[in-house]
Amino acid sequence: MTLQVTEITNLAIDLIGVRKTYRKKVQALRGVNVQVGRGEIFGLLGPNGAGKSTLVKIMMRVVRADAVMGTVLGRPLGNKNKLAVTGYLPESHRFPGYLTGMQVLDFYAALARVPRPVRRSRAPGLLDRMGLTRWADRPTREYSKGMLQRLGISQALMNDPELIVLDEPTDGLDPMGRRDVRSMLLELKKAGKTIFLNSHLLSELEMVCDRVAILNEGLVARQGTLAELTQRTVEYRIRTSGDLQAIRGEIEKRSGTIRNGQIVLGGRDAQGVNELIDLLRQNGHLIEAVEPHRLSLEDIFVEALGQSTAAPAVSQTGGRKA
Amino acid sequence: MQVWALIVDSFRDAIDRKIFWIMLVLSAATAGAMACVSFDAEGVNVLFGTWHIDSEFYAVGSETGRSAIAATIIKIVFDLSIGWVGIILALIATAGMVPAMMSPGAVDILVSKPMSRHKLFFGKYVGAMAFVLMQATVFVFLTTFVAGWRWKCWILELLWLIPLTVLLFSYVYGFCALFGVLTRNAMASLLLTLVAWVGVWAPQTLYETFVTFEEQIDPDQRYQRAVGALKWVLPKTQDIPLIAGKLAGAALMSDVIATESGTVTDGKKEPTIDPRQAEERLSDVNIAVSIASSLAFEGVLVAAASILFRRKDF
Ligand SMILES: Nc1ncnc2c1ncn2[C@@H]1O[C@H](COP(=O)(O)OP(=O)(O)O)[C@@H](O)[C@H]1O
Ligand SMILES: [Mg+2]
């Protein structure tokens, strides 16, 4: 019964010090720590080549880590019983073209030790949910990229997994498809599943993730709940009419800065905002807007990569590709 | 369940390839062609009486006729199953299986399933065998049946060719699987396998040559012993026809050997080995030792392939 002690941990994924160097040259992961709670949607974010897929592949035994400690679902990495209750959608996966959609689900679920009657009863429902019913008996070589992606997600759900690991799940999907995936993720979360997802699409993560980690050059640069990360810094932006240069000194005395013709005040300092407004009024400026500004995940992301969040061009774009 | 799923998948993979159907059509065509020929008291009857070739040699009823017909059957069935034709077709059909399993995007899902990579590899390997077993069964059953039905010559011992074809194929497929893991390319592994097959064939043939012409070229048996050792380690592909002959009936043994190792000039067989010597050689073959040592070598190849596969990052 000592075994059960580790099960009690409420972390679905608890990996410490993950290192991987490919062919003695490419340092893909340089000591990564990730903790994912049970029932959470966790997003791993990072630019191309950051090592996101490598981390997922290590979790799924596709790649062997040079060093790794910790557990997945309370068991050491690669435990077969836990793999049997894990669903995995690899990045740019390929199914044998000769298998039909139905056969794909049946074949991979058989490898995941799902009994035949369960496979038979579960597959049609998943195909239906992914809008593939009409294609169930067509070979997958006739599928479009989006259909393959949806089939891939169905495949990852065939074993009714406790943990679902998705590498770029919305890759190749149109906006409608993306929305479907998002609502499905939330549905799965409601059913108590843990979801680990890789994405370079910031907006996607922002909409569904409870917690995120930002991976850069093989290291976790930030990790936390979205609220923790984004509410950490708030700034106020004041838009006015007229030339601010004349009172620049006064503004800066009150820790404001002028950026893009707007006054920006860092921190959550409502008192400071009011002092600035008084100053502007006294000088005959018309206040057009006062906006509290939460940093977006993207701002955090860019900041984590060591660039300035102040660059206006960056904060204007939404959901930039990483 | 997992291995079964992999075997079923290998079949689906094979059925998807044209070569699968080519093999079935060839089996049917061979049986069909045989069915168009029959033998009567005067000779050979082609296409149900369309032509008649008078021949004492093939006349039914005579002792020579019977054994000539039997030898023909054996020649056809042997050559197309455990001869190079069948094996090469089977290799073409299966050489792509390991590389396809390892292709990027496909391998990720497979190796993430709750089974060891050894089991996964083994399942794919057995899948290829199962495919060849099926093809060999169809071919041997059809031809044996037609030979019995149309040529009035039931040689049920020919059914031994089913397991023997699979066995011979497996000797060669061991190389193919290893090259498949190394190159991850169907064409490259097929070509390398053919090279390896020649490499396995050469010592066996050289050995025979050294034994036959011992006095002229190898009086102190030095080459003979060196090549013999090599031959002993490598899979003994050329023992398969001998084993088949032994199992198919002692009376036909010398025919078989003459057929297998003879050269044909002007339509007449010229055995390189005289029948008496051949029979001697045949009784030399220890079936158990030949098969066991060959399988041991195959086992080493497959183990090496499987270990390489297990260690790979994808
Ligand atoms: N099989 C491999 N062999 C060698 N290098 C690899 C391999 N897979 C990934 N890499 C390298 O490791 C780094 C991380 O890659 P990856 O994990 O795919 O990043 P991401 O998924 O974040 O884009 C990259 O520099 C990539 O080139
Ligand atoms: Mg990736």
pLDDT of residue A128: 93
Contact B190, B177 (CB under 8 A): no
Closest of B227, B98, B99, B85 to residue B168, by C-alpha: B85
Contact B245, B263 (CB under 8 A): no
Q: Which residue did the predictor score with more confidence, A192 or B273? A: A192
d(CA B35, CA B37): 5
pLDDT of residue B267: 46
- The model's pTM: 0.81
- For atom 6 of ligand 1, the residue with the nearest CA is A22
Answer whether residue B72 shows pLDDT above 60: yes
Average pLDDT of chain A is 85
**Mean pLDDT value across residues B89-106:** 92
8 Å CB contact of B4 and A80: no
Contact A32, A18 (CB under 8 A): yes
**Cβ-based neighbour number of residue B220 at 10 Å:** 8
Dihedral of CA atoms B209, B211, B212, B215 in degrees, nearest 10, equals: 110
DSSP state of A95: -
Closest of B176, B147, B187 to residue B33, by C-alpha: B147
- pLDDT band at A245; cut points 50, 70, 90: confident
Tokens linked to B109: 């899902």
d(CA A97, CA A139): 6
Angle at A19 between CA A90 and CA A32, to 5 degrees: 80
- For atom 4 of ligand 1, the residue with the nearest CA is A22
8 Å CB contact of B313 and A63: yes
Answer whether residue B32 shows pLDDT above 60: yes
Nearest to A88 among B12, B109, B314 (CB): B109
Give me the count of residues in chain B.
314
**Mean pLDDT value across residues A31-44:** 93
Q: Map out the domains of chain B as residue ranges.
A: 2-311
Q: Name the percent of chain B lying above pLDDT 90.
A: 42
For the question of an ipTM over 0.85, the answer is no
**Mean pLDDT value across residues A257-276:** 83
d(CA B214, CA B236): 21
Answer whether residue A275 shows pLDDT above 60: yes
Say which amino acid occupies B262. Answer: G
Q: Which range, A6-10, A245-249, B2-6, has the best average confidence (pLDDT)?
A: B2-6
d(CA A115, CA A279): 73
d(CA A218, CA A72): 20
8 Å CB contact of B108 and A93: yes
Answer whether residue B113 shows pLDDT above 90: yes
pLDDT of residue B61: 64
Please give, one letter per residue, the 3-state secondary structure of chain B: CHHHHHHHHHHHHHHCCHHHHHHHHHHHHHHHHHHCEEECCCEEEECCCCEEEECCCCCCCCHHHHHHHHHHHHHHHHHHHCCHHHHHHHHHHHCCHHHHHCCCCCHHHHHCCCCCHHHHHHHHHHHHHHHHHHHHHHHHHHHHHHHHHHCCCCCHHHHHHHHHHHHHHHHHHHHHHHHHHHHCCHHHHHHHHHHHHHHHHHHHHHHHHHHHCHHHHCCCCHHHHHHHHHHHHCCCCCHHHHHHHHHHCHHHHHHHHHHHHCEEECCEEECCCCHHHHHHHHHHCCHHHHHHHHHHHHHHHHHHHHHHHHHCCC
Tokens linked to B1: 């369940």
Residues 6 or more apart in contact with residue A78 via CB below 8 angstroms = A61
DSSP state of A195: E
d(CA B69, CA B37): 11
**Mean pLDDT value across residues A191-202:** 88
| CA distances from residue A263 to A241, A266, A314, B63 in whole angstroms, order as listed | 11, 10, 18, 113
Q: Which chain A residues touch B100 with a CB distance below 8 Å?
A: 96
pLDDT of residue B252: 56
Answer whether residue B96 shows pLDDT above 60: yes
The answer to whether A155 contacts chain B (CB < 8 Å) is yes
Mutation to test the A interface, candidates B16, B112, B310, most A Cβ within 10 Å: B112
For the segment B231-278, what is each residue's pLDDT rounded down to a tens digit?
888 898 888 888 888 777 654 544 544 444 444 444 444 444 455 555
Residues 6 or more apart in contact with residue A126 via CB below 8 angstroms = A105, A154, A157, A158
Contact A194, A39 (CB under 8 A): yes
Q: Which residues of B touch A (CB under 8 A)?
A: 1-2, 4-6, 8-9, 12-13, 15-16, 100, 103-115, 311, 313-314
Q: Which chain B residues touch A112 with a CB distance below 8 Å?
A: 113-114
User: For A46, phi and psi rounded to 5 degrees?
Assistant: 170, 160
Nearest to A111 among B108, B115, B313 (CB): B115
Q: Give B75's Cβ-side CA count (13 Å radius).
A: 15
Residue to substitute in A18, A21, A22 for testing ligand 1 pocket (most ligand atoms within 8 angstroms of CB): A22
DSSP state of A133: G
